Amino acid sequence: MACAVSTEVAHAARSAPGWEFDPAQPWRLSAAVALRDESFGALAYDFTTRRLSFLKSRLLVDVVRALETVPDVGAALTAAGVPEGDRATYLRALEGLALSGMLTPR
């Protein structure tokens, strides 16, 4: 079972010098975030911060959902079928989600 971390503590950790999104580590959708499928991808709503984010592709939604069951981000990209040439774009999107607190380390 994952340990819950307050939003303030998590934000402070992400704001600290040297924090970086490490795709070699296991990540997951935050427990405070719900995804709602849409034709363009999904809406991600954080019930703690009340932040709404748009996941603008179905493939990105598949990657985010795969994070829960794979050992790292690379495995999630592979599981979702992200083409090799598009991986950098998806890594930037995942990093943005992590910086906003939508994704958390497992």
In terms of Cβ atoms closer than 10 Å to its own Cβ (0-12, 13-18, 19+), residue 20 is exposed
CB count in 10 Å sphere of residue 27:
22
Q: What is the pTM of this model?
A: 0.82
**Angle at CA of residue 77, ends 76 and 79, nearest 5°:** 60
Beta strands in 1-106 (DSSP E): 27-29, 33-38, 41-46, 52-55, 103-105
pLDDT at 51: 94
What structural domains does the chain harbor? 24-105 (3.90.930.70)
Residue 82 and residue 61 in contact, taking contact as beta carbons nearer than 8 Å: no
β pairing state of 52-55 and 103-105: unpaired
For 40, residues 6+ apart whose C-beta sits below 8 A from its C-beta are 54, 56, 57
Residue-wise pLDDT for 4-63, tens only, equals 334 444 454 555 556 789 999 999 999 999 999 999 999 999 999 999 999 999 999 999
